Chains A and B, each alone.
Chain A
Amino acid sequence: MSTVTHVGEESTRAKAVTLPDMGGKSSGRAIKDQAARIVMWSAFVIACVPLVWILVSTLLKGGHMLASVDWWTLSQNGITARREGGGAAHAIQGTLIQGAVTALMSVPIGVLTAIYLVEYGRGRFAKAVSFMVDILTGVPSIVAALFIYALWVTTFGFQRVPFAVTLALVLLMIPTIVRSTEEMLKLVPNELREASYALGVPKWKTIVSIVLPTAFSGIVTGVLLGLARVMGETAPLIILGPYTKSMASNLFDGLMGTLPTMINQDRTEALQPAVDRVWGAALTLILIVFVLNLLGRFLGRFSKVS
């Protein structure tokens, strides 16, 4: 890209020197060119505004909450909107547990589906699978939540438990894992597969021992990015995972607090302690999501394929 830029600049400059008689015409074009440059730069600045603004707001309004040890160790058990104190440990724990369980279920299915599409899939069935992954990519989180509600609560008659939330999140995470893994597997040079076959290594072992390790860091990147996405999801939580103020770790019984529902719980409160908690929870959630996101990108740098 940079070479092209150079060519561009040099040719403009060269023209200015060698073709002075076109000055009048060129200056109109040059103005347009300059205007376009300014438009692009301002577009980028405008696009940055919300991100910076959100980060600064949450830091200013929620930062002090995260500074206390209580925030990371206590729950909101027994604390009302009027009172200060307590922490977000229950919600952090809930978000992490649900994220981890979601990943645990989505990763094997997602990676295996990607393996099917890249290493095995041909013909109509593979096209159907690929098409369905596309559809799944576009399913709004609220629809995923409704589906699990229709299945879990209406059809099976079960209670709204945290596990139902993870099922909805699995629906949202699978397509991102399939697509990112697919891309990584495709980047593994076919020569490596052939080299392995030529050593008399069966196909499945070639995939497990040669292809997957080569694509490993890229796959991990995809998983972390997908995880960051589902951890910030709120719609399934609102439908399927009512909030609770106390610590909970049972996925199949009772309620479980999470950061998004903690925000949702108090977001309409005007009382300062509650407002502080909302911003604190928002900042904590952003931190978790950004750390996962950036960690994923960082690991992607160690990819053996590119």
Chain B
Amino acid sequence: MAKRIDVKDLDIFYGDFKAVEGVSMTVEPRSVTAFIGPSGCGKSTVLRTLNRMHEVIPGGRVDGKVLLDDQDLYARTMDPVDVRRTVGMVFQRPNPFPTMSIKDNVAAGLKLNGVKNKKRLDEVVEKSLKGANLWNEVKDRLDKPGAGLSGGQQQRLCIARAIAVEPQVLLMDEPCSALDPISTLAIEDLINELKSQFTIVIVTHNMQQAARVSDQTAFFNLKATGQPGRLVEVGDTQKIFSNPDEQATEDYISGRFG
């Protein structure tokens, strides 16, 4: 179920403004890769190019390649909608659909793509909620609105919603930044479980979190203010946190800036 991602010489633009320059890296299947770096360095932007969400912003475009098991996501024949079905995403703030029940939220991806079989939908809802460690908390109120859950539960609901469409890759854009420490811990545990099935890329501001959950860490930084962001260094999390190659990485991790 999980696929490998290869990014090659990726430049990312907002209109004429080059936001990120020359990113090349590989993400192994069934691993967790963390993107870290100071605010505005382009790590979320890079993440959003991995499922072509970057394009929904006016003027958003990219140069270079993103390969998913050797398939170019930016090939001309590739439909961005299909890409997003293959590469799921969880956002910074929990965003369950306010008009839908818990159950419908989880089933939304399938339903909106034309799956009508009730039995199959029910199965997927249960499986996904179990996968997101939420089933026991909500199984008695599946028909209640998703917006009635706590922040941490809502975020797990959004994870359930994302994995319900059975993507190959799961992208997470600071999924815990709006959550309290206990909910954060629950999500981190969940990430550890999910990586047996999915390739996961997570953007985080929290370096302890990156160290706890990821196998591989990529450090992004700006060359200078106004310059495009770039990938400074990528490697095993252990190595990045204990013995990075670049001085900038070491400075950032030891808290000297950022």
Inter-chain contacts of B113 with A (CB < 8 A): 199-201
Interface positions of A from 129 to 168, Cβ below 8 Å from B: none
Contact (Cβ within 8 A) B91 A196: no
Contact (Cβ within 8 A) B93 A199: no
A residues near B, CB below 8 A?
Answer: 122, 189, 191-202, 205-206, 209-210, 213-214, 216, 304-305
Is B108 in the interface zone, CB < 8 Å from A? yes
From the candidates B56, B58, B99, B162, name the one contacting A199 in the complex (CB within 8 A).
B162
From residue A220, how far is it (CB to closest CB) to chain B in Å? 14
From residue B122, how far is it (CB to closest CB) to chain A in Å? 18
B residues near A, CB below 8 A?
Answer: 51, 53, 56, 58, 81-86, 88-89, 91, 93, 95, 97-99, 108-109, 112-113, 158, 161-162, 165
Task: Tell me the nearest residue of chain A to B161, going by C-beta.
Answer: A199
Alpha-carbon separation in the docked complex, A304 to B100 (Å): 11
Inter-chain contacts of A195 with B (CB < 8 A): 91, 95, 97, 158, 161
Alpha-carbon separation in the docked complex, A292 to B113 (Å): 37
Inter-chain contacts of A305 with B (CB < 8 A): 98
Inter-chain contacts of B161 with A (CB < 8 A): 195, 199
Known: A194-B53, A197-B53, A200-B165. 15 other contacts (CB 8 A): A122-B58, A191-B93, A192-B97, A195-B161, A197-B81, A197-B84, A198-B89, A198-B91, A198-B162, A199-B85, A199-B162, A199-B165, A201-B81, A201-B108, A201-B109
Instruction: Please report the number of residue pairs spanning A and B whose Cβ atoms sit closer than 8 angstroms.
Output: 72
Alpha-carbon separation in the docked complex, A195 to B171 (Å): 12
Inter-chain contacts of B108 with A (CB < 8 A): 196, 199, 201
Majority-rule SS of A interface residues: helix
From the candidates A193, A199, A209, name the one contacting B88 in the complex (CB within 8 A).
A199
From the candidates B53, B112, B162, name the one contacting A205 in the complex (CB within 8 A).
B112
- Which of A189, A195, A201, A210 gathers most chain B CB within 10 Å? A195
From residue A117, how far is it (CB to closest CB) to chain B in Å? 14
From residue A222, how far is it (CB to closest CB) to chain B in Å? 18
Inter-chain contacts of B89 with A (CB < 8 A): 194, 198
Known contacts A199-B162, A213-B99; A194/B112 CB under 8 A? no
